[in-house]
Amino acid sequence: MKKAITLYEQGSHRWFVIARDPDKPHCLIDTNEYVITHAGQALLTDPGGLEIFPAVFSAVSEVIDPAQVGQIFASHQDPDVISSLALWLEFNPDLRCHVSGLWKSFIPHFGGDEHTLLSIADDGADIDLHGHPLHAIPAHYLHSSGNFHLWDAKAQILFSGDIGAAMLPHDQQEIFVRDFAQHIRHAEGFHRRWMGSNSAKRDWCERAAKLPIDMLCPQHGAIYQGDDVMRFINWLDELKVGLF
Site string for another protein, 59-98 (x = CB under 8 A): --xx--xxx------------------xx--xx-------
Q: Which of 3, 8, 58, 173 binds another protein (CB under 8 A)?
A: 58
Least CB distance to another protein at residue 57 (A): 6
Give the residue with the Cβ less far from another protein, 61 or 199: 61
Task: Indicate whether 6 belongs to the interface with another protein (CB under 8 A).
Answer: no
Region near another protein per CB under 8 A, out of 11-19, 26-34, 58-66, 119-127: 58-66
Region near another protein per CB under 8 A, out of 24-32, 55-63, 202-210, 222-230: 55-63
Give the residue with the Cβ less far from another protein, 89 or 216: 89
Using a 10 angstrom Cβ sphere, with 0-12 exposed, 13-18 middle and 19 or more buried, the burial of residue 102 is middle
Residue 29's SS3 state is coil
Distance CA 29, CA 50 (A): 12
Distance from CA of residue 166 to its chain's centroid?
13
Task: Indicate whether 122 belongs to the interface with another protein (CB under 8 A).
Answer: no
Task: Indicate whether 5 belongs to the interface with another protein (CB under 8 A).
Answer: no
Task: Indicate whether 121 belongs to the interface with another protein (CB under 8 A).
Answer: no
Residues contacting 158, CB < 8 A, separation 6+? 137, 149, 150, 151, 152, 208, 211, 213, 215, 216, 217
Give the residue with the Cβ less far from another protein, 87 or 102: 87
Contact assessment for residue 13 and residue 20, using Cβ atoms and an 8 Å cutoff: no
Strand bridging mode 13-19 / 33-38? antiparallel
User: Which of 184, 121, 127 has its CA nearest to residue 159?
Assistant: 127
Q: Which of 16, 53, 159, 232 binds another protein (CB under 8 A)?
A: 53
Of residues 181 through 220, those in contact with another protein by CB under 8 A are none
User: Which of 148, 141, 173 has its CA nearest to residue 31?
Assistant: 173
Q: Where do contacts with another protein occur on this chain (CB under 8 A)?
A: 1, 50, 53-54, 57-58, 61-62, 65-67, 86-87, 90-91
